[in-house]
Amino acid sequence: MKPVEIKKDVYWIGAVDWNRRNFHGYSVAPMGTTYNNYLIMDEKVTLVDTVAEEFWGTLQCNLANVLGDRKIDYIVVNHLEPDHSGCLAKVVEKYKPEKIYTSPMGQKAMEAHFHYKDWPVEVVPTGSEINIGKRTLTFVETRMLHWPDAMLTYCPEEKIAFTNDAFGQNWATSERWADEVDRAKLEELMRFYYANIVLPYSPVVLKTLAALKEMNLEFDMICPDHGLMFRGDDCAWAMEKYQQYAEQKPKNRAVIIYDTMWHSTEKMAKAVAAGLADEGVSVRLMSMKSNHHSEVMLEVFDAAAVIVGSPTHNNGILPLMADMLTYMKGLRPQNKIGSAIGSFGWSGECVKVLTQWLEDMSMEVVEPVKTKFVPDHDAMEKCYEQGKAIAAAVKAKLG
C-alpha cells in the first residue's frame, strides 16, 4: 500500500497485516489488522508513531516515497506498545531526529522498552504545544486508554486528532476511510475492539470525551492507529459510539456461556434459554468448545444477563470455563445480572464456584440450579423456570 495523502502534506504511511489472527489475546480472524502511522511534511518533518517491527521494510519504503531527500526532524510517540513503537529504535538510528516527544508515562515506558542512553526525548504533558512550521501540535494525555503512557496528538490547523488505540478496529483493508466500507461491519469491529481491549477503561473514556468537549476541539479527521480513519461527519459518529460503549447500558439480551462434559450442562443451558426466550428476552448460547473467549466477550458486552455453566471437575469447573471467567473478570463488565448452572457426579462444587466468579464481578445474582448426573424432567423444569426468573430480573433492570 502506497502512502495516502489525507490532507495537504499529511500522510498515512502505515502497514496492513493481512495475516494477523491473534491480537492482545483475542481473535482477529479472519479480519487481520492495520498499523497506522502518520507523517507531517512541514518545516519540521514530524513522524507520528511507527509500526510493528516486522513491517520495518514497508515503513522504510513509505518514508522514502514521501520524504525524498528530507529527514525526520521530530517523532511523536503516542503509545509505546510494540505494535506502534516496534520500529522506533530503527527510525531513531537511521534518521537521528532532533526531538522525540512523548507523555510523562511514555518516557518511563520508553526507557523500559529501549534502554536508550542518548535519545533526545522531551516530555509533553497535557496542554503542551509544539510548533512544526505552518502547524502546531497539541498533546492530551489519555492515561489508561488503554495503557498508562497513552496520549492523543491534535493538529488545530488541520483539525486532525491522532488518537493511537482509541477509536480503532482490527480490520485489514485496502480502504483507508470509514466511509468507504460497510458501516454495519465497521461498527461490529469497533464494538469487538472496545469489548476486548477498552472496556475496563470505560470511566477513562467518559472522562476523556468530556475533556475534549470542554476543550472545544473541532474534528475534521480522527486517525487511530488501527483500522479505518474517520472524516467529516463520521468523526461525530465515532465519538458518539464510544460514548455509548463507555456507558455500558445493557440491552434486552442474555448470553449463556457453558462447557459440558457429557452434555448434561448443555441440556440445562438449552432449558434456561427456552425460559428466557419465552419471556421475550433475546438469548445466545455459546459453548466454550466452539467459541473463542473474545467472541463470547462481544456478546457479553451489551447483554443484560450472563448465565454461566459447567459440570463439577476436580472439585472445581472445566478449564475452558475458568479461562473465560478469568478473561471476563479482567475486562470488568458492568450492569449485569448473573446466574449459574451445572451438573455434578458426587462433590457438586460447580455452581458455588461459578456463582463466586459472578459475585466477584459485582453481578446481581439469580438463584443457581444444579443437578446430579443427567437432568430429568423436574431438573429441566427448574432450569426453564430459572430462565423465566432471569428474564423477570432483566425486565426490572431495564425498566
Question: Is residue 179 among the annotated active site residues?
Answer: no
Question: Is residue 263 among the annotated active site residues?
Answer: no
Question: Is residue 113 among the annotated active site residues?
Answer: no
Question: Is residue 84 among the annotated active site residues?
Answer: no
Instruction: Judge contact between 338 and 358, C-beta under 8 A.
Output: yes
Question: Is residue 146 among the annotated active site residues?
Answer: yes
State the catalytic residue, choosing from 81, 141, 225, 234. 81
State the catalytic residue, choosing from 83, 141, 225, 259. 83
Question: Is residue 193 among the annotated active site residues?
Answer: yes
State the catalytic residue, choosing from 226, 242, 258, 384. 226
Question: Is residue 377 among the annotated active site residues?
Answer: no
State the catalytic residue, choosing from 42, 79, 141, 149. 79
State the catalytic residue, choosing from 146, 154, 258, 313. 146
Question: Is residue 233 among the annotated active site residues?
Answer: no
Task: Return the active site residues.
Answer: 24, 79, 81, 83, 146, 165, 193, 226
